[in-house]
Structure 1
Amino acid sequence: MSSRLNMINGQAHWYPANKLKLPGELAAWLTDKNSLTLRLQQTSLQQFHVDLLQTGWQKPLTEEALKLEQPLAQRAYCREVILKDGEQARVFARTVVPRVSYQALQAHLQIHHLGNRSLGEILFTDPAIKRGPLEVASLRSGNHLFELAKKHDIALDDNAVMWARRSCFYFAENSLLVCEMFLPDQDWAV
């Protein structure tokens, strides 16, 4: 697949998870509809934990705004974390909550006060929250999400390929987008 197909102006090209040939070792991780947090906790060799990198209001990436059907210039509440096994970074995750959904989701999930707690633990234990379809993409240097990860001092070689998945979660009429980027050079065979 050409990098031109994967990126237009830094945006990833997302595919339904069942429509793309995925790398063998990561395929099961990318298509698993259950909690990534729980799976990482079960397969961690050391102690699983979440490192909060940043939270706050910012303009979402164009591909995020389009997926959430919100105006491109409108700010959203964004949360970025690293999911770790001991000191080993495994997944860079980014959550985007549109302004129109923030108040209801904050009241229901306390999203603003999660700190180093996993959002996944809440999303998958609340029966009122439904998950939309999974989409996957391969990210390369120059892609906005790849560059965001590098900005947080995640060691990524410019020739690396980082696979990602994303999906929307819905609570009543409110939505949020969760994107999970699986860091290269990890043993995903577990």
Structure 2
Amino acid sequence: MLKSQTHWHPAPTAKLPAELAGWLTDKGSLTLRLQQTSQQQFKVDLQQTGWQKPLPEEALKLEQPLYEHAYCREVILRDGDQARVFARTIVPRVSYQALQAHLHIHHLGNRSLGEILFTDPAIKRGPLEVASLRSGQSLFELAKHSSNELNESSIMWARRSCFYFADNSLLVCEIFLPNQDWS
């Protein structure tokens, strides 16, 4: 049984763990930062793409009806074979056509969406929100398949923000997997 929805907080006002605070509040590209700090080779590991009903908290954030499907993309950002971040992107149906034509999200494969979002001046990022995730919460359950080191007492931290292109939006959520060196 799932617990209540995740409680998201504005990043600047949230009480964050010291080792992750800089990562969670960084307004730049997570992809670029991971590439710069990777000990092995940074890579994007595509887990799944397709149409599905977003989580209620995702639909509400995107101001989309709860019953309506959206395009979903899930990836694991890796340092060599080590999973560091589970990332989930949700594109509402009303935005999909314009964003697909502009970003080609459906054809990214193992390429990073972040590389496109942060190099295109027409795309603007909304405010960052952060949350701690615990076992039983929907996002925790989705991300736990990315790490073998999770148990019932594990806590993961996440950040999310909307990106805007004209009148179209998409939501990116990045979940920082535990037992990593984030310093």
Aligned partner of 2:163 in structure 1 is 169
- The answer to whether 1:154 aligns with 2:154 is no
Cα deviation for residue 10 of structure 1 reads 3.8
1:117 pairs with one of 111, 118, 125: 111
Aligned partner of 1:75 in structure 2 is 69
Aligned amino acid, residue 148 of structure 1: L
The question of whether the paired residues in 1 share the 8 Å contact of 2:73 and 2:90 is answered with yes
Deviations 1:154-181 (A, max 9, x none): 3221111100000000000000000000
The question of whether the paired residues in 1 share the 8 Å contact of 2:83 and 2:146 is answered with no
TM-score normalised to the size of structure 2? 0.97
- The answer to whether 1:139 aligns with 2:129 is no
Aligned amino acid, residue 30 of structure 2: L
- The answer to whether 1:63 aligns with 2:48 is no
What's the Cα RMSD here? 1.0
Aligned amino acid, residue 127 of structure 2: P
The question of whether the paired residues in 1 share the 8 Å contact of 2:86 and 2:146 is answered with no
Partner of 1:130: helix, strand, or coil? Answer: strand
Aligned partner of 1:179 in structure 2 is 173
Partner of 2:109: helix, strand, or coil? Answer: coil
Aligned amino acid, residue 102 of structure 1: Y
- The answer to whether 1:15 aligns with 2:9 is yes
CA distance in 2, matches of 1:50, 1:160: 24
Aligned partner of 1:3 in structure 2 is none
Cα deviation for residue 27 of structure 1 reads 0.1
Partner of 2:66: helix, strand, or coil? Answer: coil
Aligned amino acid, residue 74 of structure 1: E
CA distance in 1, matches of 2:96, 2:160: 19
CA distance in 1, matches of 2:6, 2:174: 13
The count of aligned residue pairs is 181
Give ranges in structure 2 of 5+ residues lacking alignment.
none
CA distance in 2, matches of 1:61, 1:168: 15
CA distance in 2, matches of 1:122, 1:30: 20
Deviations 1:19-66 (A, max 9, x none): 111000000000000000000000000000000000000000000000
CA distance in 1, matches of 2:55, 2:18: 29
CA distance in 2, matches of 1:50, 1:163: 20
Q: Percent identity?
A: 80
